[in-house]
Structure 1
Amino acid sequence: MRHLSKIIPLLVSFSFGSAWATDGYFAHGYGVRSQGVGGVGIALPQDALAAAANPAGLGKVGDRIDAGLTWFRPVRESEIEGNGFGFNGTYKGNDTQDFFIPEFGYNKQYSEDVTLGVSVYGNGGMNTDYKNGVRAFSSQGSAGVDLIQVFVAPTATWKVSEKHIIGASLNLAYQRFEAKGLQGFDNSTFSAAPGSVTNNGHDNSYGAGVHIGWLGEITDTVTLGATYQSRTYMSKFDKYKGLFAEQGDFDIPSTYGVGVAVKVTPALTLAADFQRINYGEVDAVGNASQANLFNGLGNDNGAGFNWQDAKVYKIGALYQYSPSLTLRAGFNHVDQPIRRGDTLLNILAPGVVKDHLSLGATWVLSPQSELSFSYTHAFENSVNGSNSIPAAFGGGEANLKMYQDALGVAYTWKL
């Protein structure tokens, strides 16, 4: 444990260059092994990152250290058409395109019934970078946003009976945010705090929440899991109190989910998760966009992105091909959080992908070490606006499009 004080700050620092956008702006899976099965993890713990999906999972993975890195490449595009002010055109938000997302997990079996560990991972985020700006926002130079969310989650599990484990994590959260190119909103007509809307550099936010979970072996072949993660209450982004509702407040929404894993044969395991992300409980994300646009950005009833709560469905297969090789595959589907009438502001956050296909593998290098890989493709998806641009901005429609690729590698050291 003495080395964690050095390793964790390094990983959080490295995460400054990272961005996510898969299940809305949450990661589709936590840890390279989970990513390889479509993000499944509530009833299928595979490594020391398992606490991100279900804290109770650390009670099943033993003494180990897992460290990994995922290369993530989102391709974002927006289009404005039918606009009376001449803002029509295609805008590509990919001037920053390649991101690298680290992960780290440590777990220790302290007694027959108790484990203690820590998981460090990117919970979510969003990045857009329109090199030439967005004319509808009166950009002066480039436009876009950069948001990351990192969790450091100390976790304890307790084996309450031979077949049942409960776990709890303290989610210590860090956020970093920047907005640029929004000069058209940086005035008293649109913002309650002009000067705190755009081009103020990065701002930091800190907070905490709790995550609890249960894992139960119902039969020799069936495992069930359930988890609840509270809303994570964050300090405000003071530099952007004129942009986000509630004077710069940007909490991380609560989630809950259930999972099942079935050992079909000694070699084949099938698993599935259901998760709900409560985006709407955070006003900066869930407040109506068009209807609240003239209420003053930054006010309690200021415009948000009007994201709906998202339901996420994950299914995966794990196949023990040989004693030294495990193969994985999975599929992940998320409901569309962005409404067609609110695509204008979501040019900044076009998290419209819905379907993800994943593949993965683990090679056993020695009794103490393993190497894992995953690849995920999020299929291209579009949301075309419907009455999405107000008459005050010249009317017309804003259309959003995105697809993504991710490639991860992780090393396991069994202690």
Structure 2
Amino acid sequence: MIPCFRLPALPLAHRVGAALMTGAVLMSPMAARATDGYFLDGIGGKAKGAGGVALAQPEDALAIASNPATATEIGHRLDVGVELFIPNRSATITGNAAGLSGTYSGNGANPFVLPDFAYVRPVSDKVSVGIAIYGNGGMNTVYRRNPFSAFGAQGDAGVDLKQIFITPTAAVKVLPGQSLGISPIVVVQAFRAYGIQPFSGYSSDPSHFTNLGTSWSTGAGVRLGYFGHIGRAIRIGGFYETKVKAGHFGKYSGLFSNQGSFDVPAAWGGGIAVTPVRAVTLALDVKRIEYSGVSSVGNPIGLLFTGTPFGATGGPGFGWRDITAIKTGVTWRATPAWTFRAGYSHSGNPVPTNQTLLNILAPGVVAHHITGGATWASRKGVEVTGYVVVAPKNHVYGDGSIPQAFGGGESNIALGETSVGASVGIKF
């Protein structure tokens, strides 16, 4: 037990970035990608190089993972990609009378290799179908020096959340230049937590709180999309993704709110792409992610002090708020063989300054993404794309983040990310 201080059950975690898979039949959940909170900032090599834009600018088969209606614009193609992802996560605790003060690195696992896959095929002049397999989100921290060892925590501390999305897609041209699409969503997710033993006494189910290995769950939802042309130079697109209702993490029913519940937040957004001259396209996407609508993510830690323990119905979570992500990109078709891209995206910070203590385990606070990429296309329909994404380290400094019952002081968290990737596309 921890002397002198009444400490609540330390929460769970996430993965800073998003777990991806190898293909339609081979799913190998890994780590995370550059992120909007813990959603991907872009899906597919071409979108990644252009700041994540894809809602109105479909350039490869993975565009259906952002907007299913774009399937009618893609033609018959296969895209497979791989990314090397290096997150840099850390935490600093200051002024804590319970012995937690110090600087801690969450980089016990690095780097990560992450694949993705998509295939699209027209079945008539108006209808196209496809499938995409990718990691929509995830978080990982591994603290070799346990931030909670002063309370008797043993071994490494950290969490690992992976979310694998499988999205079969159908789209139809309802009018000339206007398409609607739908993707049933199947999610397979896994979670584990370790090294937070001292806090299990503040759980509604202490035997299902930490160090229990990986727990799995599945869920389902729907993504709807629209894509349309306005004249020759302007394209618009939008999507709405329902909350994905998922089963409970049974091994961690004492950690997550509502006896281990962990749904995927609803999201929606729109985009526009303008081609002012033939070789150049400018694109803008705006996306809203409703993290507060999932209790295990959005509920604040303060609920613990109203008598609601971890794992209980309506129990505490990370305290994340909803965010808006704005993405901009430029694409220059320099020659028939070469296309170049650059972009910038800005994500809102989901972690309030008074919620940073629990988010030592889930510092999903990256705000800025600077991107670049290029594609070489052969005359036989083979494309090779490369890209780089740099997300400078963003700090969130705690303000009233550690209650006196925990020893007081402040918890400060930070995350930066670097990734390089390549993909191969085949047009049939």
Q: Percent identity?
A: 42
Aligned to 1:395: 408
Give me the whole-angstrom Cα distance separating, in 1, the residues matched to 2:333 and 2:125.
Answer: 27
TM-score normalised according to structure 2 size: 0.93
Q: Is structure 2 residue 205 aligned with structure 1 residue 205? A: no
Structure 1 segments (4+ residues) deviating >6 Å: none
Aligned ranges 1:51-200 → 2 under 5 Å: 51-135=64-148, 138-187=152-201, 190-200=202-212
Give the letter for the 1:167 counterpart. G
Q: CA deviation at 1:7?
A: 4.2
Give me the whole-angstrom Cα distance separating, in 1, the residues matched to 2:290 and 2:25.
Answer: 29
Give me the whole-angstrom Cα distance separating, in 2, the residues matched to 1:398 and 1:21.
Answer: 23
In structure 1, the gaps of 5 or more residues are 1-5
Aligned to 2:24: 8
Give me the whole-angstrom Cα distance separating, in 2, the residues matched to 1:97 and 1:195.
Answer: 30
Note if contact 2:273-2:283 (Cα within 8 Å) is conserved in structure 1: yes
Aligned ranges 1:325-364 → 2 under 5 Å: 325-364=338-377
Give the letter for the 2:245 counterpart. Y
Q: CA deviation at 1:177?
A: 0.7
Q: 3-state SS of the aligned residue for 1:236?
A: coil
Give the letter for the 2:191 counterpart. F
Q: CA deviation at 1:360?
A: 0.7
Q: Is structure 2 residue 413 aligned with structure 1 residue 413? A: no
Q: CA deviation at 1:367?
A: 2.1
**Of 312, 320, 343, the match for 2:333:** 320
Give me the whole-angstrom Cα distance separating, in 2, the residues matched to 1:186 and 1:78.
Answer: 22
Aligned to 1:269: 281
Note if contact 1:290-1:388 (Cα within 8 Å) is conserved in structure 2: no
Give the letter for the 1:211 counterpart. R
Q: 3-state SS of the aligned residue for 2:292?
A: helix
Give me the whole-angstrom Cα distance separating, in 2, the residues matched to 1:137 and 1:101.
Answer: 36
Q: 3-state SS of the aligned residue for 2:71?
A: helix
Over the residues paired in the alignment, what is the CA RMSD in angstroms? 1.2
Give the letter for the 1:386 counterpart. D
Give me the whole-angstrom Cα distance separating, in 1, the residues matched to 2:100 and 2:380.
Answer: 61
Q: CA deviation at 1:61?
A: 0.7
Q: CA deviation at 1:137?
A: 6.3
Q: CA deviation at 1:413?
A: 1.1
Q: 3-state SS of the aligned residue for 2:235?
A: strand
User: Over residues 195-221 of structure 1, what are the superposed CA-to-partner deviations in whole Å (9 max), with x where a residue is unaligned?
Assistant: 111111111110110001110101110
Give me the whole-angstrom Cα distance separating, in 2, the residues matched to 1:284 and 1:276.
Answer: 19
Q: CA deviation at 1:184?
A: 1.6
**Of 203, 225, 228, the match for 2:240:** 228
Q: CA deviation at 1:20?
A: 3.6
Aligned to 2:298: 286
Q: 3-state SS of the aligned residue for 2:206?
A: coil
Q: CA deviation at 1:138?
A: 4.0
Give me the whole-angstrom Cα distance separating, in 1, the residues matched to 2:383 and 2:411.
Answer: 47
Aligned to 1:382: 395
TM-score normalised according to structure 1 size: 0.96
Aligned to 2:263: 251
Note if contact 1:290-1:390 (Cα within 8 Å) is conserved in structure 2: no
Aligned residue pair count: 405
Give me the whole-angstrom Cα distance separating, in 2, the residues matched to 1:237 and 1:227.
Answer: 29
Give me the whole-angstrom Cα distance separating, in 2, the residues matched to 1:112 and 1:80.
Answer: 60
